[in-house]
Protein backbone atom coordinates (compact mmCIF):
# COMPACT_ATOMS: atom_id res chain seq x y z
CA UNK A 1 0.00 0.00 0.00
CA UNK A 2 2.83 2.37 0.87
CA UNK A 3 4.57 1.51 -2.41
CA UNK A 4 1.38 2.21 -4.36
CA UNK A 5 0.94 5.56 -2.59
CA UNK A 6 4.52 6.61 -3.29
CA UNK A 7 4.16 5.51 -6.90
CA UNK A 8 0.94 7.47 -7.21
CA UNK A 9 2.60 10.62 -5.88
CA UNK A 10 5.50 10.12 -8.28
CA UNK A 11 3.04 9.58 -11.12
CA UNK A 12 1.17 12.78 -10.30
CA UNK A 13 4.39 14.78 -10.19
CA UNK A 14 5.57 13.33 -13.48
CA UNK A 15 2.13 13.73 -15.00
CA UNK A 16 2.23 17.45 -14.26
CA UNK A 17 5.71 17.77 -15.78
CA UNK A 18 4.69 16.10 -19.04
CA UNK A 19 1.24 17.69 -19.10
CA UNK A 20 -0.70 14.49 -19.77
CA UNK A 21 -4.48 15.09 -20.08
CA UNK A 22 -6.27 14.33 -16.83
CA UNK A 23 -8.71 11.81 -18.30
CA UNK A 24 -5.95 9.81 -19.99
CA UNK A 25 -3.69 10.00 -16.94
CA UNK A 26 -6.45 8.63 -14.70
CA UNK A 27 -6.86 5.54 -16.88
CA UNK A 28 -3.10 4.97 -16.95
CA UNK A 29 -2.62 5.62 -13.25
CA UNK A 30 -5.46 3.25 -12.36
CA UNK A 31 -3.65 0.53 -14.33
CA UNK A 32 -0.56 0.63 -12.14
CA UNK A 33 -0.14 -2.58 -10.20
CA UNK A 34 -3.26 -4.17 -11.69
CA UNK A 35 -2.86 -7.13 -14.03
CA UNK A 36 -5.43 -7.83 -16.70
CA UNK A 37 -6.10 -7.75 -20.43
CA UNK A 38 -5.97 -4.65 -22.56
CA UNK A 39 -9.70 -4.76 -23.21
CA UNK A 40 -10.72 -3.03 -19.97
CA UNK A 41 -7.95 -0.46 -20.48
CA UNK A 42 -9.35 0.50 -23.90
CA UNK A 43 -12.90 0.48 -22.52
CA UNK A 44 -11.89 3.00 -19.85
CA UNK A 45 -10.22 5.37 -22.30
CA UNK A 46 -12.14 8.54 -23.16
CA UNK A 47 -14.60 7.88 -26.00
CA UNK A 48 -12.64 10.05 -28.47
CA UNK A 49 -9.82 7.50 -28.51
CA UNK A 50 -12.16 4.73 -29.65
CA UNK A 51 -13.70 7.09 -32.21
CA UNK A 52 -10.47 8.43 -33.79
CA UNK A 53 -8.14 5.68 -34.89
CA UNK A 54 -6.13 4.26 -37.78
CA UNK A 55 -5.72 0.58 -38.62
CA UNK A 56 -2.09 -0.30 -39.35
CA UNK A 57 -1.70 -3.53 -41.32
CA UNK A 58 2.09 -3.11 -41.50
CA UNK A 59 4.56 -1.22 -39.31
CA UNK A 60 8.21 -0.47 -38.63
CA UNK A 61 7.57 0.21 -34.95
CA UNK A 62 8.50 -2.07 -32.06
CA UNK A 63 4.88 -3.15 -31.88
CA UNK A 64 3.76 -5.75 -34.41
CA UNK A 65 1.19 -5.34 -37.20
CA UNK A 66 -0.08 -7.63 -39.94
CA UNK A 67 -3.12 -7.64 -42.25
CA UNK A 68 -4.91 -10.21 -40.08
CA UNK A 69 -3.80 -8.83 -36.70
CA UNK A 70 -3.31 -5.08 -37.16
CA UNK A 71 -1.98 -2.40 -34.87
CA UNK A 72 -4.48 0.23 -33.74
CA UNK A 73 -3.43 3.89 -33.39
CA UNK A 74 -5.99 5.79 -31.31
CA UNK A 75 -5.96 9.50 -30.55
CA UNK A 76 -7.99 12.00 -28.57
CA UNK A 77 -9.28 13.92 -31.59
CA UNK A 78 -6.99 16.92 -31.15
CA UNK A 79 -3.63 15.24 -31.83
CA UNK A 80 -2.33 16.02 -28.33
CA UNK A 81 -2.55 12.42 -27.07
CA UNK A 82 -2.30 9.02 -28.76
CA UNK A 83 -2.49 5.40 -27.61
CA UNK A 84 -1.20 2.52 -29.76
CA UNK A 85 -1.68 -1.23 -29.30
CA UNK A 86 -0.93 -4.31 -31.41
CA UNK A 87 -3.76 -6.86 -31.41
CA UNK A 88 -1.14 -9.61 -31.39
CA UNK A 89 0.08 -8.29 -28.02
CA UNK A 90 -3.00 -6.58 -26.54
CA UNK A 91 -1.44 -5.98 -23.12
CA UNK A 92 1.24 -3.52 -24.27
CA UNK A 93 0.27 0.11 -24.95
CA UNK A 94 2.44 2.96 -26.21
CA UNK A 95 1.29 6.47 -25.26
CA UNK A 96 2.30 9.83 -26.72
CA UNK A 97 1.22 13.27 -25.52
CA UNK A 98 2.11 16.86 -26.38
CA UNK A 99 2.71 19.59 -23.79
CA UNK A 100 4.40 23.00 -23.96
CA UNK A 101 5.95 22.40 -27.39
CA UNK A 102 7.30 18.97 -26.42
CA UNK A 103 6.24 15.41 -27.16
CA UNK A 104 6.42 12.82 -24.39
CA UNK A 105 6.24 9.04 -24.71
CA UNK A 106 5.08 6.53 -22.11
CA UNK A 107 4.39 2.81 -21.84
CA UNK A 108 1.67 0.73 -20.16
CA UNK A 109 1.78 -3.06 -19.76
CA UNK A 110 -1.58 -4.20 -18.44
CA UNK A 111 -0.51 -7.82 -18.03
CA UNK A 112 1.78 -7.04 -15.10
CA UNK A 113 0.44 -3.58 -14.25
CA UNK A 114 3.66 -1.75 -15.15
CA UNK A 115 3.41 1.93 -16.06
CA UNK A 116 6.42 3.92 -17.30
CA UNK A 117 5.64 7.58 -17.81
CA UNK A 118 7.98 9.53 -20.09
CA UNK A 119 9.88 6.36 -20.99
CA UNK A 120 13.35 7.35 -22.25
CA UNK A 121 13.74 4.14 -24.27
CA UNK A 122 11.01 5.40 -26.62
CA UNK A 123 13.31 8.18 -27.83
CA UNK A 124 15.51 5.66 -29.64
CA UNK A 125 12.90 5.74 -32.39
CA UNK A 126 10.87 8.88 -31.74
CA UNK A 127 13.52 11.52 -31.02
CA UNK A 128 10.93 13.76 -29.31
CA UNK A 129 8.47 13.71 -32.20
CA UNK A 130 5.64 11.62 -33.66
CA UNK A 131 6.70 9.12 -36.32
CA UNK A 132 4.12 9.52 -39.03
CA UNK A 133 4.30 9.82 -42.81
CA UNK A 134 3.56 13.07 -44.56
CA UNK A 135 0.18 13.90 -46.08
CA UNK A 136 -1.59 12.36 -47.94
CA UNK A 137 0.03 8.89 -48.04
CA UNK A 138 0.61 6.57 -45.08
CA UNK A 139 2.49 3.37 -45.87
CA UNK A 140 1.13 0.49 -43.82
CA UNK A 141 -2.24 2.07 -43.02
CA UNK A 142 -5.49 0.50 -44.21
CA UNK A 143 -6.74 3.20 -46.56
CA UNK A 144 -3.17 4.31 -47.33
CA UNK A 145 -4.29 7.28 -49.46
CA UNK A 146 -6.66 9.76 -47.79
CA UNK A 147 -8.03 6.96 -45.56
CA UNK A 148 -10.04 5.73 -48.56
CA UNK A 149 -10.81 2.19 -49.70
CA UNK A 150 -12.69 1.32 -52.91
CA UNK A 151 -15.40 -1.28 -53.36
CA UNK A 152 -13.93 -4.47 -54.78
CA UNK A 153 -10.37 -3.49 -53.85
CA UNK A 154 -7.95 -5.65 -51.89
CA UNK A 155 -8.15 -3.25 -48.95
CA UNK A 156 -11.97 -3.39 -48.96
CA UNK A 157 -11.86 -7.20 -48.94
CA UNK A 158 -9.48 -7.16 -45.99
CA UNK A 159 -11.52 -4.57 -44.09
CA UNK A 160 -14.65 -6.69 -44.43
CA UNK A 161 -12.74 -9.72 -43.13
CA UNK A 162 -11.39 -7.79 -40.13
CA UNK A 163 -14.86 -6.54 -39.22
CA UNK A 164 -16.11 -10.11 -39.12
CA UNK A 165 -13.12 -11.99 -37.73
CA UNK A 166 -12.40 -9.44 -34.98
CA UNK A 167 -16.02 -8.80 -34.01
CA UNK A 168 -15.37 -10.37 -30.59
CA UNK A 169 -11.82 -9.09 -30.16
CA UNK A 170 -11.65 -7.31 -26.76
CA UNK A 171 -10.01 -4.24 -28.32
CA UNK A 172 -11.17 -4.07 -31.96
CA UNK A 173 -14.80 -4.66 -30.98
CA UNK A 174 -14.79 -1.45 -28.92
CA UNK A 175 -13.80 0.81 -31.81
CA UNK A 176 -16.53 3.04 -33.23
CA UNK A 177 -17.26 2.08 -36.83
CA UNK A 178 -17.44 4.64 -39.65
CA UNK A 179 -20.82 5.90 -40.83
CA UNK A 180 -22.41 3.31 -43.08
CA UNK A 181 -20.50 0.39 -41.57
CA UNK A 182 -22.05 -2.19 -39.26
CA UNK A 183 -21.63 -5.83 -38.27
CA UNK A 184 -24.67 -8.08 -38.06
CA UNK A 185 -24.62 -10.96 -35.60
CA UNK A 186 -26.63 -14.13 -36.19
CA UNK A 187 -26.84 -17.46 -34.36
CA UNK A 188 -27.87 -20.58 -36.26
CA UNK A 189 -29.86 -23.52 -34.93
CA UNK A 190 -26.71 -25.26 -33.72
CA UNK A 191 -25.77 -22.24 -31.64
CA UNK A 192 -22.93 -21.20 -33.92
CA UNK A 193 -22.37 -17.44 -34.06
CA UNK A 194 -21.75 -15.73 -37.38
CA UNK A 195 -20.86 -12.12 -38.10
CA UNK A 196 -21.60 -10.37 -41.39
CA UNK A 197 -20.10 -6.98 -42.24
CA UNK A 198 -22.33 -4.49 -44.00
CA UNK A 199 -20.58 -1.62 -45.75
CA UNK A 200 -22.41 1.22 -47.48
CA UNK A 201 -19.99 2.70 -50.00
CA UNK A 202 -20.37 6.27 -51.24
CA UNK A 203 -21.33 6.21 -54.94
CA UNK A 204 -18.61 7.12 -57.41
CA UNK A 205 -17.99 6.83 -61.14
CA UNK A 206 -15.76 4.02 -62.38
CA UNK A 207 -13.34 4.83 -65.19
CA UNK A 208 -10.58 2.83 -66.85
CA UNK A 209 -7.24 4.11 -68.07
CA UNK A 210 -3.85 2.84 -69.18
CA UNK A 211 -0.93 3.41 -66.84
CA UNK A 212 2.49 2.01 -67.61
CA UNK A 213 1.02 -0.13 -70.37
CA UNK A 214 -1.54 -1.67 -68.01
CA UNK A 215 -5.29 -1.14 -67.97
CA UNK A 216 -6.42 -0.11 -64.48
CA UNK A 217 -9.71 0.77 -62.87
CA UNK A 218 -9.98 4.11 -61.13
CA UNK A 219 -12.60 5.60 -58.85
CA UNK A 220 -15.93 4.01 -58.10
CA UNK A 221 -17.88 3.47 -54.87
CA UNK A 222 -15.65 4.17 -51.89
CA UNK A 223 -15.51 4.47 -48.11
CA UNK A 224 -13.56 6.99 -46.06
CA UNK A 225 -12.40 5.48 -42.77
CA UNK A 226 -13.45 8.26 -40.44
CA UNK A 227 -15.45 9.09 -37.37
CA UNK A 228 -16.52 12.36 -38.97
CA UNK A 229 -18.05 13.14 -42.32
CA UNK A 230 -15.67 13.53 -45.31
CA UNK A 231 -12.40 13.87 -43.36
CA UNK A 232 -10.38 10.70 -42.79
CA UNK A 233 -8.98 9.96 -39.37
CA UNK A 234 -5.42 9.90 -40.72
CA UNK A 235 -5.95 13.09 -42.74
CA UNK A 236 -7.14 14.90 -39.66
CA UNK A 237 -4.39 13.52 -37.43
CA UNK A 238 -1.54 14.55 -39.72
CA UNK A 239 -2.85 18.12 -39.77
CA UNK A 240 -2.91 18.15 -35.99
CA UNK A 241 0.54 16.59 -35.76
CA UNK A 242 1.99 19.22 -38.08
CA UNK A 243 0.54 21.99 -35.93
CA UNK A 244 2.07 20.64 -32.72
CA UNK A 245 5.32 19.50 -34.31
CA UNK A 246 6.07 22.89 -35.83
CA UNK A 247 5.66 24.37 -32.34
CA UNK A 248 8.33 21.92 -31.19
CA UNK A 249 10.60 22.90 -34.06
CA UNK A 250 10.27 26.63 -33.34
CA UNK A 251 11.06 26.00 -29.68
CA UNK A 252 14.22 24.06 -30.60
CA UNK A 253 15.39 26.94 -32.81
CA UNK A 254 14.69 29.59 -30.15
CA UNK A 255 16.47 27.54 -27.47
CA UNK A 256 19.46 26.72 -29.67
CA UNK A 257 22.94 27.75 -28.53
CA UNK A 258 23.53 30.29 -31.31
CA UNK A 259 20.05 31.70 -31.91
CA UNK A 260 21.01 35.27 -31.04
CA UNK A 261 24.15 34.85 -33.12
CA UNK A 262 22.55 33.54 -36.33
CA UNK A 263 19.11 35.19 -36.22
CA UNK A 264 20.07 37.95 -38.68
CA UNK A 265 21.41 35.46 -41.23
CA UNK A 266 18.35 33.24 -40.69
CA UNK A 267 16.17 36.14 -41.82
CA UNK A 268 17.81 35.89 -45.23
CA UNK A 269 17.64 32.11 -45.37
CA UNK A 270 13.90 32.06 -44.62
CA UNK A 271 12.50 35.10 -46.39
CA UNK A 272 9.63 34.66 -48.81
CA UNK A 273 9.33 38.28 -50.02
CA UNK A 274 11.92 40.28 -51.94
CA UNK A 275 14.34 41.86 -49.54
CA UNK A 276 18.03 42.19 -48.81
CA UNK A 277 19.41 38.97 -50.28
CA UNK A 278 16.50 36.70 -51.15
CA UNK A 279 17.20 37.03 -54.87
CA UNK A 280 20.92 36.37 -54.37
CA UNK A 281 20.69 32.98 -52.74
CA UNK A 282 18.26 31.66 -55.35
CA UNK A 283 21.26 31.46 -57.68
CA UNK A 284 24.33 31.46 -55.47
CA UNK A 285 25.69 32.23 -52.04
CA UNK A 286 26.83 35.78 -52.79
CA UNK A 287 24.03 37.30 -50.75
CA UNK A 288 25.21 35.55 -47.62
CA UNK A 289 28.95 35.19 -48.04
CA UNK A 290 30.78 38.41 -47.29
CA UNK A 291 27.74 40.54 -46.47
CA UNK A 292 26.11 38.46 -43.74
CA UNK A 293 28.50 35.57 -43.01
CA UNK A 294 32.27 35.84 -43.37
CA UNK A 295 33.54 33.48 -46.06
CA UNK A 296 36.00 31.79 -43.71
CA UNK A 297 33.14 30.94 -41.32
CA UNK A 298 31.06 29.51 -44.18
CA UNK A 299 33.96 27.16 -44.98
CA UNK A 300 34.13 26.08 -41.34
CA UNK A 301 30.37 25.54 -41.18
CA UNK A 302 30.46 23.40 -44.31
CA UNK A 303 33.44 21.41 -43.04
CA UNK A 304 31.63 20.81 -39.77
CA UNK A 305 28.82 19.16 -41.73
CA UNK A 306 31.22 17.20 -43.94
CA UNK A 307 30.87 19.20 -47.18
CA UNK A 308 33.38 21.13 -49.26
CA UNK A 309 30.92 23.43 -51.06
CA UNK A 310 27.41 24.74 -50.53
CA UNK A 311 26.39 22.99 -53.75
CA UNK A 312 27.31 19.65 -52.16
CA UNK A 313 25.19 20.50 -49.13
CA UNK A 314 22.23 21.49 -51.30
CA UNK A 315 22.51 18.38 -53.48
CA UNK A 316 22.64 16.11 -50.45
CA UNK A 317 19.66 17.89 -48.90
CA UNK A 318 17.58 17.28 -52.04
CA UNK A 319 18.72 13.65 -52.13
CA UNK A 320 17.56 13.13 -48.55
CA UNK A 321 14.22 14.81 -49.21
CA UNK A 322 13.59 12.57 -52.21
CA UNK A 323 14.79 9.45 -50.40
CA UNK A 324 11.71 9.33 -48.23
CA UNK A 325 9.38 9.43 -51.24
CA UNK A 326 11.32 6.66 -52.95
CA UNK A 327 11.28 4.62 -49.74
CA UNK A 328 7.59 5.36 -49.24
CA UNK A 329 6.66 3.80 -52.57
CA UNK A 330 8.60 0.68 -51.62
CA UNK A 331 6.94 0.56 -48.19
CA UNK A 332 3.45 0.96 -49.68
CA UNK A 333 4.08 -1.89 -52.12
CA UNK A 334 5.45 -4.09 -49.36
CA UNK A 335 2.34 -3.61 -47.23
CA UNK A 336 -0.03 -4.12 -50.17
CA UNK A 337 1.71 -7.37 -51.10
CA UNK A 338 0.95 -8.59 -47.60
CA UNK A 339 -2.70 -7.56 -48.03
CA UNK A 340 -3.01 -9.38 -51.36
CA UNK A 341 -1.41 -12.53 -49.97
CA UNK A 342 -3.57 -12.41 -46.83
CA UNK A 343 -6.73 -12.14 -48.93
CA UNK A 344 -5.56 -15.02 -51.10
CA UNK A 345 -4.97 -17.15 -48.02
CA UNK A 346 -8.45 -16.35 -46.69
CA UNK A 347 -10.01 -17.24 -50.06
CA UNK A 348 -7.85 -20.35 -50.52
CA UNK A 349 -6.25 -18.96 -53.70
CA UNK A 350 -2.79 -19.79 -54.98
CA UNK A 351 -1.33 -16.70 -56.67
CA UNK A 352 1.80 -16.42 -58.75
CA UNK A 353 4.18 -13.60 -57.92
CA UNK A 354 3.18 -11.95 -61.22
CA UNK A 355 -0.49 -11.98 -60.20
CA UNK A 356 0.38 -10.56 -56.78
CA UNK A 357 2.24 -7.67 -58.47
CA UNK A 358 -0.68 -7.07 -60.87
CA UNK A 359 -3.09 -6.74 -57.96
CA UNK A 360 -0.72 -4.45 -56.10
CA UNK A 361 -0.39 -2.24 -59.18
CA UNK A 362 -4.19 -1.98 -59.45
CA UNK A 363 -4.48 -1.19 -55.75
CA UNK A 364 -2.03 1.68 -56.12
CA UNK A 365 -4.11 3.34 -58.81
CA UNK A 366 -7.72 3.15 -57.64
CA UNK A 367 -7.63 6.79 -56.64
CA UNK A 368 -7.73 9.54 -59.26
CA UNK A 369 -4.29 10.76 -58.28
CA UNK A 370 -1.11 11.49 -60.17
CA UNK A 371 0.39 8.03 -60.72
CA UNK A 372 3.87 9.54 -60.89
CA UNK A 373 3.65 9.89 -57.12
CA UNK A 374 4.17 6.14 -56.89
CA UNK A 375 6.68 5.35 -59.62
CA UNK A 376 9.65 6.03 -57.36
CA UNK A 377 11.81 7.67 -60.02
CA UNK A 378 13.53 10.86 -58.91
CA UNK A 379 12.89 12.68 -62.17
CA UNK A 380 9.14 12.10 -61.88
CA UNK A 381 9.08 12.95 -58.20
CA UNK A 382 10.65 16.29 -59.06
CA UNK A 383 7.91 16.83 -61.65
CA UNK A 384 5.19 16.09 -59.11
CA UNK A 385 6.85 18.15 -56.37
CA UNK A 386 8.83 20.78 -58.31
CA UNK A 387 9.67 23.08 -55.38
CA UNK A 388 11.09 21.34 -52.34
CA UNK A 389 12.83 24.48 -51.16
CA UNK A 390 16.03 22.44 -50.86
CA UNK A 391 18.18 25.56 -51.03
CA UNK A 392 16.36 27.20 -48.14
CA UNK A 393 16.55 24.04 -46.05
CA UNK A 394 20.26 23.71 -46.92
CA UNK A 395 20.85 27.25 -45.67
CA UNK A 396 18.99 26.46 -42.46
CA UNK A 397 21.13 23.34 -42.05
CA UNK A 398 24.28 25.41 -42.57
CA UNK A 399 23.36 27.82 -39.78
CA UNK A 400 21.67 25.51 -37.27
CA UNK A 401 23.18 22.03 -37.44
CA UNK A 402 26.65 23.25 -36.35
CA UNK A 403 24.75 24.88 -33.46
CA UNK A 404 23.54 21.46 -32.31
CA UNK A 405 20.02 21.70 -33.77
CA UNK A 406 18.93 18.36 -35.34
CA UNK A 407 17.24 19.78 -38.44
CA UNK A 408 16.94 16.32 -39.98
CA UNK A 409 14.61 15.37 -37.13
CA UNK A 410 12.18 18.20 -37.68
CA UNK A 411 10.29 16.07 -40.15
CA UNK A 412 7.99 13.37 -38.78
CA UNK A 413 8.68 11.35 -41.94
CA UNK A 414 10.57 8.32 -40.69
CA UNK A 415 10.94 5.19 -42.81
CA UNK A 416 13.79 2.75 -42.44
CA UNK A 417 16.26 3.22 -45.27
CA UNK A 418 15.52 6.93 -45.75
CA UNK A 419 16.85 10.09 -44.15
CA UNK A 420 14.62 13.05 -44.86
CA UNK A 421 14.60 16.75 -44.20
CA UNK A 422 11.37 18.73 -44.28
CA UNK A 423 9.16 17.56 -47.09
CA UNK A 424 7.12 19.88 -49.27
CA UNK A 425 3.83 19.80 -47.40
CA UNK A 426 5.39 20.78 -44.09
CA UNK A 427 8.02 23.22 -45.37
CA UNK A 428 5.66 26.16 -45.71
CA UNK A 429 4.37 25.81 -42.15
CA UNK A 430 7.58 24.95 -40.29
CA UNK A 431 9.91 27.33 -42.08
CA UNK A 432 7.22 30.01 -42.14
CA UNK A 433 6.82 29.84 -38.36
CA UNK A 434 10.58 29.94 -37.84
CA UNK A 435 10.74 32.95 -40.18
CA UNK A 436 8.11 34.75 -38.09
CA UNK A 437 10.14 34.01 -34.96
CA UNK A 438 13.42 35.39 -36.30
CA UNK A 439 11.73 38.39 -37.91
CA UNK A 440 10.29 39.29 -34.53
CA UNK A 441 13.72 38.75 -32.96
CA UNK A 442 15.37 41.24 -35.33
CA UNK A 443 12.61 43.80 -34.77
CA UNK A 444 11.05 43.60 -38.23
CA UNK A 445 7.98 45.71 -38.83
CA UNK A 446 4.70 43.97 -38.05
CA UNK A 447 1.63 44.40 -40.23
CA UNK A 448 -1.09 44.53 -37.57
CA UNK A 449 -3.88 44.04 -40.12
CA UNK A 450 -2.42 40.73 -41.29
CA UNK A 451 -0.90 39.99 -37.86
CA UNK A 452 2.46 38.99 -39.32
CA UNK A 453 5.96 40.34 -39.65
CA UNK A 454 6.95 41.67 -43.04
CA UNK A 455 10.37 40.65 -44.22
CA UNK A 456 9.87 42.86 -47.28
CA UNK A 457 10.01 45.91 -45.01
CA UNK A 458 13.64 45.21 -44.07
CA UNK A 459 14.97 47.74 -46.56
CA UNK A 460 18.10 48.78 -44.68
CA UNK A 461 20.17 45.82 -45.85
CA UNK A 462 23.53 47.25 -44.90
CA UNK A 463 22.44 47.77 -41.30
CA UNK A 464 21.08 44.22 -41.09
CA UNK A 465 24.26 42.81 -42.64
CA UNK A 466 26.39 44.73 -40.16
CA UNK A 467 24.39 43.31 -37.24
CA UNK A 468 24.82 39.81 -38.69
CA UNK A 469 28.59 40.24 -39.01
CA UNK A 470 28.88 41.51 -35.44
CA UNK A 471 26.69 38.77 -33.97
CA UNK A 472 27.97 35.81 -35.93
CA UNK A 473 31.54 36.54 -34.88
CA UNK A 474 30.55 34.92 -31.57
CA UNK A 475 29.43 31.66 -33.19
CA UNK A 476 30.23 28.60 -31.05
CA UNK A 477 30.16 25.14 -32.57
CA UNK A 478 28.11 22.54 -30.72
CA UNK A 479 27.82 18.79 -31.30
CA UNK A 480 24.90 17.73 -33.45
CA UNK A 481 23.03 14.99 -31.56
CA UNK A 482 22.19 13.24 -34.85
CA UNK A 483 25.75 12.88 -36.11
CA UNK A 484 26.56 9.20 -36.34
CA UNK A 485 23.19 8.21 -34.90
CA UNK A 486 21.06 5.61 -36.63
CA UNK A 487 17.68 6.90 -37.78
CA UNK A 488 14.71 5.50 -35.93
CA UNK A 489 12.04 3.38 -37.56
CA UNK A 490 8.64 4.66 -38.60
CA UNK A 491 5.03 4.14 -37.72
Least confidently predicted of 277-281, 408-412, 419-423? 277-281
How much of the chain, in percent, has pLDDT values that exceed 70?
76
Q: Over 80: is that where the pLDDT of 285 sits?
A: no
Integer distance in angstroms from the first to the last C-alpha of the chain?
38
Cα-Cα-Cα-Cα dihedral sign, residues 443, 449, 452, 454: negative
**DSSP secondary structure letter of residue 74:** E
pLDDT digits (tens, 9 = 90+) for 305-337: 999 988 898 888 888 877 777 677 788 899 999
User: What is the model's pTM?
Assistant: 0.85
Collapsing DSSP states into helix, strand and coil, what is residue 328?
helix
Please check whether residue 458 is in contact with residue 444, taking contact to mean a CB–CB distance below 8 angstroms.
yes
pLDDT digits (tens, 9 = 90+) for 28-56: 877 776 666 788 999 999 999 999 999 99
pLDDT interval class at 135 (50, 70, 90): low
9: pLDDT confidence band, cut at 50, 70 and 90? very low
CB 54 within 8 A of CB 237: yes
In 362-372, which positions are buried (b, 16+ CB within 10 angstroms) versus exposed (e)?
bbbbbbebebb
Does the pLDDT at position 282 exceed 90? no
Q: What is the pLDDT at residue 1?
A: 33
Structural domain spans, the chain: 2-126, 148-231, 234-491
Band of residue 279 on the pLDDT scale cut at 50, 70, 90:
very low
Amino acid sequence: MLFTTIAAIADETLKNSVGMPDDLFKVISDSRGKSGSGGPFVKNLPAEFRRNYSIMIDTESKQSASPLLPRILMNNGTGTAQVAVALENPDHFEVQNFHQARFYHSEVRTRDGNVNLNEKACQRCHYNRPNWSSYPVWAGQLGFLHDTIYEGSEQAKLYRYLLESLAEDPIFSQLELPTGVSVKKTVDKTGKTKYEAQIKFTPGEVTYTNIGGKRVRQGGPHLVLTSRENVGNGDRMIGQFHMWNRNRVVREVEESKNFEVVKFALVGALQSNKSCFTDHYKENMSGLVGDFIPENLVRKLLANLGYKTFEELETDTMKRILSVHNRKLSAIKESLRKVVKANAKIAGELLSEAEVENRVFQELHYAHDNPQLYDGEEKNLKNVFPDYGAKRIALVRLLLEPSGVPVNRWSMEVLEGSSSYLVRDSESTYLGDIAATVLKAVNAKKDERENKYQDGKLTDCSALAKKSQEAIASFVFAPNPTNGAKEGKGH
